[in-house]
Amino acid sequence: MRVYLVGGAVRDQLLGHPYHEKDYVVVGSTPQKMLDQGYQPVGRDFPVFLHPKTKEEYALARTERKQGQGYHGFEFYTDPSVTLEQDLIRRDLTINAIAQDDAGHLYDPYGGAQDIQNKILRHVSDAFVEDPLRVLRVARFAARYAQYGFVVAEETLALMRTLATSGELECLTPERVWKETSRALMEKHADVYFEVLRQCGALTVLFPEIDALFGVPQRPEYHPEIDCGIHTLMSLQQACQHNYSLDVRFAVLVHDLGKALTPVDVLPRHIMHEQRGIEPVTMLCERFKVPTATKQFALIVCKEHLKCHQAMTLKGGTLWRLLQRLDVLRRPERVIEFIQACECDARGRLGLENRPYPQKDYLLKAMECVRNIKAKDLPSYVKGPDIGEQLIKKRIYELDQLKRSQQET
């Protein structure tokens, strides 16, 4: 029985990238031997065990053979005779096919260390095309390691294109697509994930609503980058740079989906694109079973982001109704996230990445203004059902005062 550290821990150790989990492969053992040593079985498809003390994962060395469609369509074979090289060759990328023994010696039969040095994401073997999930994984790795200058090898992109046109991507479960995408969205360069998917043709298969934005023009005086798809990815870059939450990043990604539905005869204007965006955002969220809170926030950013840009010109009543729709009294954090998403939209434009966004401070003041008005602030003669109505009137009045003060300033 020989144990090797494999996968992400070895890769990130060589790269100098932080890592938290360690995975091991065990060569020359059997499930019974693992159980006899106190390991706890957790694998459903093939033997994976938890170490009795550290609870780290130990998988028996295995080979696999494609039996059906999708990433579940595999038959796995484990036996003490399976070698380390046979186990490593089934992995997706060379940088993930490196093992390390207890003495620190590296086993790198497929050139992963060299690819790390050359900043290349390259498939290990042609068996890559047997698993459609690898298209998403490679795109996610491209997003994670873009900060180091990694790019996808042309021959690997070619195999990803093969998968994109094979129909295999449609076999991926919604939950798995969302899991990979949500993880990619939290990387420092999440925009690279969608760009790589676009390069290999997978974006139009999995996210046609996003793919449709590319090539759609906008008015250059507001959008010097012109292209709606480029604007979307630039806005997402802004959300990543500020390390905003998953909900903010996803909302930024889909906030302009309605622009792909603008009638050709009115381009490059996009009147009512907020309303047109409701249906494609809803469809995308339902297709991938996006969590309810994430979906609801994305929809409100889609519908209301122009109101945020116009906040300083809105009448008190209009601004109050916007804040109400954002649930300002119960969930002030949602208002803050809404402002963050809209600021990313405003700055996700060529040459305007550092433009001032005074609407942010204005809306934060408006939020505090309405939240600080309580029933105790009303005259003592206001009773019963009148309290709610008078609170609204006072909040609208104070918002009008805030606007007047802002204009005078």
Q: Please report the DSSP string for 216-261 in residue order.
A: -B--TTT-TT-BHHHHHHHHHHHHHHTT--HHHHHHHHHTTGGGGG
Q: How far apart are CA 160 and CA 295, in angstroms?
A: 29
Per residue of the chain (409 residues), what is the pLDDT tens digit?
A: 899 999 899 999 999 998 888 999 999 999 899 999 999 998 776 689 999 999 999 999 988 775 555 555 557 778 899 999 999 998 999 999 999 999 999 999 999 999 999 999 999 999 999 999 999 999 999 999 999 999 999 999 999 999 999 999 999 999 999 999 999 999 999 999 999 999 999 999 999 999 999 999 999 999 999 999 999 999 999 999 999 999 999 999 999 999 999 999 999 999 999 999 999 999 999 999 999 999 999 999 999 999 999 999 999 999 999 999 999 999 999 999 999 999 999 999 999 999 999 999 999 999 999 999 887 777 777 777 778 788 889 999 999 999 999 988 7
Phi, psi of 100 (to 5 degrees): -140, 130
Q: How far apart are CA 191 and CA 140, in angstroms?
A: 10
Q: Which two tokens stand for residue 140?
A: 């996610």
> For the chain, which residues make up each domain, given as ranges?
1-112, 247-257+267-409
CATH number of 1-112: 3.30.460.10
Phi, psi of 23 (to 5 degrees): -120, 145
- The answer to whether 167 and 68 have CB atoms below 8 angstroms apart is no
Query: For residue 224, what are the CA distances in angstroms to 145, 283, 310, 347?
Result: 28, 30, 20, 11
- The three-state secondary structure class of 93 is strand
Q: How far apart are CA 294 and CA 249, in angstroms?
A: 10
* Helix (H), strand (E) at residue 344: helix 332-347
Q: How far apart are CA 197 and CA 204, in angstroms?
A: 8
Report pTM. Answer: 0.92
Q: How far apart are CA 157 and CA 140, in angstroms?
A: 13
